[in-house]
Structure 1
Amino acid sequence: MEIIGATTLLLIACIFFILLSITQARKQKKKGKLPPGPAPLPILGNILQLNGKEVVKSLNKLSEKYGPVYTIHMGMDPVVVLCSCDAVKEALIDNAEDFGARGHMPLLDRINSGGHGVVGSNGERWKQLRRFSLMTLRNFGMGKRSIEHRIQEEAQFLTEEFRKSNDRPLDPTFYISKAVSNVICSVVFGDRFEYEDKDFLKLLGLFNEIFKGFSSVWGQEKDIPETEFHMEGIVNTTFDLFGAGTETVSTTLRYGLMILLKHPDVEERIHQEIDKVIGGDRAPCIEDRSRMPYMDAVIHEIQRFIDLLPMGIPHKVTRDLKFRDFYIPQGTTIYPILSSVLQDPKQFKYPHEFNPGHFLDDQGKFSRNDGFMPFSSGKRICLGEGLARMELFLFFTTILQNFSLRSPVDIEELDLTPLMSGFGNVPRYYQLCLIPR
């Protein structure tokens, strides 16, 4: 009798959710047609069709069948996926206001109290926090010589730390994290930490684990209430600056050095350009970038190739709207797949290969590309883009001015595929030797 009762309840529950799904579908049909997509299961939606370890590959595979704009369901909620350079640009740039709200990410909400930081907030709160962040960064030297001097100083500290290795193999992970984080510390606190400071190392370890956690977490939308600007927003925005400003840049540097180990011909050409433009008697400065097209192209290609945040950060639409002949209801979660932009074959001749030529013209001059979107685009473009670009150029150039890179293992053994891939691509751990030049 108990078995019959349990079976009956299960059958009733299934019928209820099927009817609920049909009702929601009919309501949606009256309003308009969502982009096409795979048929969702009751309750689960399309979650079983997404490989948890390779979510982005699963999403790209679905786009081959349903097109560059399609719908999946996370549970009962529809999620619209944008999966090409043209589709992402049309949404985030051409319709920036309509696609300008932040979607929900469960882990991000737990970290910064439900959308109180500049990354996860919406509405008036987000506008005020973004204005505050930009003003603060400018006041502390963003775009000015003062912040450049701080990066140059930290790059020299990093160089001296590397020299202590005496050509022995080392894992660069925390060396680079310390240096990059100290740039943010100098902006926020006006001071830097010593590399052996235990509290500092604990903080860096926390950020590293958070980034790994993000690499396997993504969720569907829920409304975030809008509240006025307050101290909690300042605290969480500061946390956002540390997390985003440390882990993204340091991971790019770490991944980039591994790529250069794998491509010694690229490293050699960089050395030649550094010797010609800078020499060895002064520190690199940001003005050198315009005279170093190959270095600039290599850094852009590193960012494109590693595809650091392949899924981007979720958006949501701010009103009911028509997009490419489809209807998208207000509040719908949008996933602009940055991986599909950075690897769009219409934009890049060799989308899955590392090739600095993607950013060079026939005369060897630096050439911009519309498919370069590692910082996202539109109203939610990364507010630290300028700082990150300056850091990447000065750190990479200073390291390669002072050292030649050598791998303690055969370069054929170096694996450039990510250790983890989800929200973020996390590089595999490796060691390198830094040989003074």
Structure 2
Amino acid sequence: LRVLGTLVLLALFCVIYIIVCYVKIYKQKSQLPPGPIPLPFIGNLLQIDTHNIVTSLNKLKRKYGSVFTLYFGPNPGLVICGYDAIKEALIDQGEAFADRGDYPVFLHYFNIAFSNGEHWKDLRRFALTTLRNFGMGKRSIEERIQEEASFLITELTTTKGSPADLTMYFASTVANVIASIVYGSRFDYKDDRLKKITDSIYNNFCIMSSMWGTLYNMYPGLLDSLPGPHHQMRRNFEDITVISRESIKYHKKTLDPNCPRDYIDCFLIRIQQVIEHISPDIESLIMSIHNLMFGGTETVSTTLRYGTLVLMKYPEIADRMREEIDEVVGRDRSPCMEDRNKMPYTDATIHEIMRFCDVIPLSLPRCTSRETFYKGYKLPKGTYITPFLTSVHRDPTRYEEPFKFNPQNFLDASGSFKKEDALMPFAAGKRICLGETLARMELFIFFTSLLQNFTFKPLIAKEDIKLEPTGSGLGNVPMEYKCRIIPR
């Protein structure tokens, strides 16, 4: 009887819990845009393909329109779709949508991207100022990118036409550009520290873009108690932390406050100063390094890898780019940013790669910084927002054939480059990627340098190359592949 009584009490508790959850959900849904009906605790998990969240959101967009409510686990949030709806939120009402929502996989490792209020403004302002002081957007960083491109070309030449995986070549090259700003110098390609950094960043990007990353963001407390590859993310970040602590230790011993050498020096000097809104410390510096190294490496290197795959599937497009590169740059010097205006087809193709590959399909989550009205709804402060960037890059009102790779999307009738507002690979508004200028320079110089020097040959027929991502969550991960790198 005692056991029976316990079971009855447990059943009663469950019934009360479910009733309370449904009452809470009913009140929330009455104030938010329509969306699929959630269940207690699991929310809309049954409507989401955790292996490919983009496909699920596209289906819901077709049913509910440009703005709908989706429960990521027990928590409701708005998914915003299409260029017009995202522009209205992130740009036209930028201040109201400026705060960052929770994203548990990053919570303990990044500070610039996941802080709010004055703390975030100070961190971002400091990072932008420091990056610019060390050349971002200037000729000095362009020369650094050109130098790294020459190291990449030398490394790729050593493959001598044997099948090669481009993943770590591209990751090492891109990581070295941001490392030269953060740590003060590049790494040799054979340096174990560089391998640890690039392996950790790449593996975490893949996990975050998998089912495990999606589930962890929904149920962080539960997933912390369950086995799975998501635990590797913490170990990967710790590998980068060890390298950063060693570098910080050296920087502290050799610091000259009157002559900062890099980002770490500037942050150490900042720690010594009295700051009104922020008391930075070594842990804040380490999180900033995570932020810059992850954000400054993976998106660009994945775009290079994905873009090369696309160009192997469409070799006629790559050949036309090479013709333009040979005509404008020739074979005796490195491409530079001044060449871009004279190379409309190449520029258009790189922009189309950013659109088509859609490396970051979901902008990192936002939340409303204050009570605001949007699309006829009164959103309370702290409303969770997910901008669905794929819906911008596949918007049929902006692109005639959005699911087809076509550089003509960025060319006008005369063949000149045409800017398209419905392109948001770096997100938009107050939280736009602070490294956008650097990333655009890297993509142009690296792609043109690669095509100037090599032809990339797939190991399979071009018809068998699959361009659909193998994982889709935080990012779109292209299929793994090897290719032959043939010097021209």
TM class by smaller structure: over 0.9
Contact kept in structure 2, 1:105 and 1:221, CA below 8 Å: no
The answer on 1:177 being equivalent to 2:171 is yes
1:156 to 147, 150, 158: 150
Give the Cα separation in 2 of the matches to 1:407 and 1:302.
18
The 5 A counterparts of 1:92-171 are: 92-112=90-110, 117-171=111-165
Alpha-carbon spacing, 1:27–1:410, altered in 2? closer, same or farther (3 Å): closer
Give the Cα separation in 1 of the matches to 2:8 and 2:44.
26
The answer on 1:368 being equivalent to 2:419 is yes
Report what 2:14 is aligned to.
14
Could you report, residue by residue, the CA deviation over 1:312-347 in whole angstroms, capped at 9, with x for unpaired residues? 110000112211111211111100001111111111
Report what 1:88 is aligned to.
86
Listed as ranges, the gaps of 5+ residues in structure 1 are: none
Contact kept in structure 2, 1:98 and 1:318, CA below 8 Å: yes
- Give the aligned CA root-mean-square deviation in angstroms: 1.9
Equivalent position amino acid for 2:19 in 1: L
Contact kept in structure 1, 2:22 and 2:40, CA below 8 Å: no
What is the Cα deviation at residue 74 of structure 1?
2.7
Give the Cα separation in 1 of the matches to 2:287 and 2:166.
28
Contact kept in structure 2, 1:406 and 1:434, CA below 8 Å: yes
2:313 to 262, 269, 287: 262
Equivalent position amino acid for 1:87 in 2: A
Report what 1:206 is aligned to.
200
Give the Cα separation in 2 of the matches to 1:37 and 1:265.
44
Listed as ranges, the gaps of 5+ residues in structure 2 are: 221-276
Contact kept in structure 2, 1:50 and 1:58, CA below 8 Å: yes
Contact kept in structure 2, 1:159 and 1:402, CA below 8 Å: yes
What is the Cα deviation at residue 25 of structure 1?
4.9
Give the Cα separation in 1 of the matches to 2:219 and 2:384.
6
Alpha-carbon spacing, 1:263–1:189, altered in 2? closer, same or farther (3 Å): same
Give the Cα separation in 2 of the matches to 1:9 and 1:293.
72
Contact kept in structure 2, 1:128 and 1:229, CA below 8 Å: no
What is the SS of the residue equivalent to 1:318?
A: coil
Equivalent position amino acid for 1:190 in 2: G
> So what's the TM-score if we normalise by structure 1?
0.94
What is the SS of the residue equivalent to 1:311?
A: coil
The answer on 1:329 being equivalent to 2:380 is yes
Equivalent position amino acid for 1:415 in 2: K
Give the Cα separation in 1 of the matches to 2:95 and 2:27.
26
Contact kept in structure 2, 1:405 and 1:435, CA below 8 Å: yes
Equivalent position amino acid for 1:185 in 2: A
Alpha-carbon spacing, 1:19–1:140, altered in 2? closer, same or farther (3 Å): same
The answer on 1:228 being equivalent to 2:274 is no
Equivalent position amino acid for 2:62 in 1: E
Could you report, residue by residue, the CA deviation over 1:259-317 in whole angstroms, capped at 9, with x for unpaired residues? 11000010110011011111111110011011111111111111111111111110000
What is the Cα deviation at residue 45 of structure 1?
1.6
Give aligned pairs, total. Answer: 428
Could you report, residue by residue, the CA deviation over 1:127-150 in whole angstroms, capped at 9, with x for unpaired residues? 011011101101110111110000
Give the Cα separation in 1 of the matches to 2:306 and 2:128.
28
Contact kept in structure 1, 2:73 and 2:219, CA below 8 Å: no
Contact kept in structure 2, 1:221 and 1:333, CA below 8 Å: no
Alpha-carbon spacing, 1:41–1:2, altered in 2? closer, same or farther (3 Å): farther
What is the SS of the residue equivalent to 1:130?
A: helix
Contact kept in structure 1, 2:102 and 2:365, CA below 8 Å: yes
What is the Cα deviation at residue 409 of structure 1?
1.9
What is the SS of the residue equivalent to 1:141?
A: coil
Equivalent position amino acid for 1:242 in 2: M
What is the SS of the residue equivalent to 2:362?
A: coil
Contact kept in structure 2, 1:82 and 1:334, CA below 8 Å: yes
Give the Cα separation in 2 of the matches to 1:182 and 1:209.
18
Report what 2:55 is aligned to.
57
Equivalent position amino acid for 2:183 in 1: F
What is the SS of the residue equivalent to 1:106?
A: coil
2:335 to 268, 279, 284: 284
What is the Cα deviation at residue 33 of structure 1?
2.3
What is the Cα deviation at residue 15 of structure 1?
2.5
Contact kept in structure 2, 1:35 and 1:327, CA below 8 Å: no
Could you report, residue by residue, the CA deviation over 1:90-118 in whole angstroms, capped at 9, with x for unpaired residues? 10001000001011111101334xxxx11
Equivalent position amino acid for 1:13 in 2: F
Give the Cα separation in 2 of the matches to 1:5 and 1:46.
33
Give the Cα separation in 2 of the matches to 1:362 and 1:337.
30
What is the Cα deviation at residue 26 of structure 1?
6.3
Equivalent position amino acid for 2:294 in 1: G
Identity %: 48
What is the Cα deviation at residue 62 of structure 1?
1.2
Give the Cα separation in 1 of the matches to 2:27 and 2:8.
29
Give the Cα separation in 2 of the matches to 1:131 and 1:269.
41
Equivalent position amino acid for 1:290 in 2: N
The answer on 1:272 being equivalent to 2:272 is no
Contact kept in structure 1, 2:113 and 2:291, CA below 8 Å: yes
